[in-house]
Amino acid sequence: MEVSCSYERTITPSICDYDGRLSVPDCFGLFMDAAAIHAAELGVGIADMSRRGLFWLTVRTKVHFLRRPQMLERVTVWTRPIEPEKVRSIREYRLTKDGELLAEGKTEWTVVEMPAGKIHPMQDVFPESVEMASAPAFAEPFCRIAPGFRAEEGFGSYTVRSSDIDVGGHMNNVAYLHALFGMLSAAERKSLPQNTVEIAFRAPCFEGETLSCFRRPAEQSAEFAMVKPDGTVGVLVKVS
């Protein structure tokens, strides 16, 4: 039987947006938490990997929203890993309410050897006893977000705070989305379609770094970038 993990979760006020619904960044947070919980159950959690000198690294995440649940709705969070490739692994997610699909998505991961940062083969990461699906049910491909933003597309800057830093010592995956979405007004956020949100992680960002933020319109979507002081792109985001 394929392994999966699911549990119920109340959409509490602390993870809701200005409209009283689960915020986009916090949905990513729910899925990140589910991945961490299930990985630990499978023996490949943060502590397990650390003992082996390994670290999970998120490459990109894509989430498609059908309906963002309202405050105090009781939902089910579900996740499962997909049979890994040579150096990449996919994990998929679903958010449901009484059988209604609210959101679905997937994350592409790789594993690095610490402290060198060398990519580690996936073949020995999961226990042999773990049976996984051969392909994700959420088959929508990741898109390519071109990194070349123009100077006039800049709309502000964000200094990485201590509260943004995770156990790995760099900016938390979800903190990027909180930062970007927080720089937009409520009216601007309402104008975004927000049906599908994708984030690609290009380089780690650290406490005290001031990131330059860019935004450009695309066909029925908007694309964003957060760029490190040395000009290296930290993350790319597409909202469509």
User: Which CATH class for the 5-124 domain?
Assistant: alpha beta
* 1: confidence class by pLDDT, cuts 50, 70, 90: low
HEC readout, the chain: CCCCEEEEEECCHHHECCCCEECHHHHHHHHHHHHHHHHHHCCCCHHHHHHCCEEEEEEEEEEEECCCCECCCEEEEEEEEECCCCCCEEEEEEEEECCEEEEEEEEEEEEEECCCCEEECHHHCCCCCCCCECCCCCCCCCCCCCCCCCHHHEEEEEECCHHHECCCCCECHHHHHHHHHHCCCHHHHHHCCCCEEEEEECCCCCCCCEEEEEEEEECCEEEEEEECCCCCEEEEEEEC
**Sequence ranges of the domains in the chain:** 5-124, 151-239
The pLDDT tens digits of the residues spanning 139-162 come to 999 999 999 999 999 999 999 999
Residue 88: pLDDT over 70: yes
pTM here?
A: 0.95
Which whole number is the average pLDDT over 88-100?
97
Do 5-124 and 151-239 show the same overall fold? yes
Please tell me the predicted confidence (pLDDT) of residue 21. 98
pLDDT at 162: 98
CATH class of 151-239: alpha beta
pLDDT average, residue stretch 120-134: 93
- Residue-wise pLDDT for 20-71, tens only, equals 999 999 999 999 999 999 999 999 999 999 999 999 999 999 999 999 999 9
Higher pLDDT, 117 or 16: 16
> How far from 164 is each of 156, 158, 168, 170, 204, CA to CA, in Å?
18, 11, 11, 8, 12
